[in-house]
Amino acid sequence: MDGLTGSIRTARAAWLAVAVVVAALAAGWVSSGYAVSGNGGQIADANLPAPTSSPKIAAVIDCHGMIDEGLYQSIVRRSEEAVAAGADYLFYDIQTYGGRVDSADEISKYLIHDVAPMAHTVAYVSKEAISAGAMVSVSCKDILMRRHTTIGASAPMSMGGTLEGVEREKIESYVRSVFSRAAEANGYPEALLKAMVTRQLEVWQVKNRATGQMEFFETERLPTDPNTYDLKDKHLIVKDDEILTLTDSKAYEYGIARAVVDNLDEALAFLAERDGVVFDSKVLFFKPLWSEQMVRWINSPAVVSVLVLGILLGIYVEMNTPGLGVPSLLAILCLVILVGSRYLTGMANWIEIAILVIGLLLLLVEIFILPGFGVAGFLGITCILIGLFGMLVRTTPGEIPWPKNPAAWQEFTDGLMGIAAGFAAFLVAVLVLSRYMDRIPLFRSFVLSSALDRPGRSTAAVASKENASVPLATTFAPGQIGRTISVLRPAGKARFGDKIADVVTRGEFLGKDISVKILEVRGNRIVVAAELRET
């Protein structure tokens, strides 16, 4: 009875954990707010009215860590709040080594098309703007870099291995077009930005005689008029085997950074002098919500792999132990976290979630209602796969979940790698558990409590009703013939003579009243298979 009570408490605790995680994914997402800081860093009331005089309001929005869909959603939310609060200059504090190309492109388009018409955008590189971070930076009207920072190195990479040949050129062409778009919109040297993406691209610095300015050209686009350009004094800036990465001083020298500063106050002073404006003494700071940070962490490839492993492992252990207990709740918890986080970042829409739920229901019908494995099980697995794969590509309801551009393909393959890693880990876990499940204390406790503590259940260790402690090996033996008294999915019950025991197959599903033969008796585990009679 104590074991039954403990199992109920464990199940309640697991369901409570599911509810807590669901609430955590939703909590805070709708809440918002910002801090206001003066020169001394004093926090002021966020509800203070915006100044009515001419001073310009500056707002700072962090762009830290991996660039992903979660960061894009967070930047959109905070930018809209900053503009609504009356901000005239939006400073995006860049500290990143890169991330997803598609997410960086979404941020780039948002900054150029949606934010720039309403406020002046500034990329404030406080540490580094590498890879996708450079893409976000050049999408702002101005780039201001702190001393001893870097920008560039934006060649696309793949989680699945090295990009070569046509595949590399396809994705590089896409990324170059994003940088070219930003160069045209914000007046940066296009040749240098493209050199951050592609090797085999030489870039020369040539002086324009008429303006006295230094301009940059790819080798095949070098000017030929010696009267307009000083062709004898040209300088090779980027060799054909290099990916361009610039320090703060070089970025300033080449016209990518507008200024090099020591801190945010110097950045404000530079813009105030250049633009002839006065900034309000209060600077607005818009920080990401804790829920946004949590969802971003959950959607990282490593965590996705762990969640996939938890789902598959929970289902496997549940199917190999009697009853409905903690393993199934673990699988449900991992599934709720995975789907919920994808939904909150816009990667999953209601159609994909509905398909996934239908697949799960069909699979449950196949396992608990219909004997064997037939149409319902096949359709269930198909719907589950469609739902999961659909969540790897950002689509709107009604769209076919299929990558439509190189960045989307990159996103799809990276997500697929995360799922594949979780599945590979599951296969390894199955190999281990199939041999040692009864020896691992954690999993053995599931089997024992399920068998010993539940009313109406005979344990796999029970040889007779009189003695529940008799070792299995003294009661059951390989080769012994019996009949199933329940459906094996693949765990269930079988009768051997006047003894009833919990048994498990090696993966196959068997119906009720099927003749079975014991293949192996190990510890608390009886492995059976359908008996094949000679005719």
Q: What is the CATH number of domain 32-186+246-288?
A: 3.90.226.10
* Helix boundaries (H) for 284-348: 290-298, 301-319, 326-344
CATH fold of 458-530, please?
OB fold (Dihydrolipoamide Acetyltransferase, E2P) (2.40.50)
* Per-residue pLDDT at 23 exceeds 80: no
Q: Where are the domains of the chain?
A: 2-23+297-348+391-439, 32-186+246-288, 458-530
Q: What is the CA radius of gyration of the chain?
A: 31
Distance CA 515, CA 531 (A): 6
Instruction: State the burial class of residue 2 (Cβ atoms within 10 Å of its Cβ: 0-12, 13-18, 19+).
Output: exposed
Q: What is the 3-state secondary structure (H, E, C) of 113-141?
A: HHHCCCCEEEEEEEEEEECHHHHHHHCCC
Q: How far is CA 266 from CA 40, 146, 178, in A?
A: 15, 10, 30
Query: 450 versus 72: which is more confidently predicted?
Result: 72
* H or E stretch covering 357: helix 350-368
- Quick check: 425 and 309 in contact, CB under 8 A? yes
* Per-residue pLDDT at 301 exceeds 50: yes
- Quick check: 402 and 394 in contact, CB under 8 A? no
* Per-residue pLDDT at 33 exceeds 70: no
Q: How far apart are the first and last CA of the chain?
A: 48
* Nearest alpha-carbon partner for 252 in 261, 265, 244: 261
Q: What is the pLDDT of residues 161-175, one digit of tens each?
A: 566 777 788 889 999
Distance CA 426, CA 309 (A): 5
Q: What is the pLDDT of residues 219-250, one digit of tens each?
A: 999 999 988 999 988 999 999 889 999 999 99
* Nearest alpha-carbon partner for 287 in 27, 32, 530: 32
At 432, the pLDDT band (50, 70, 90 cuts) reads confident
Q: What is the pLDDT of residues 117-134, one digit of tens each?
A: 999 999 999 999 999 999
- Which residue's structure tokens are 């396809």? 170
Cross-strand partners of 295: none
* Per-residue pLDDT at 462 exceeds 90: no
CA dihedral angle for residue 324, residue 326, residue 332, residue 334, rounded to 10 degrees: -160
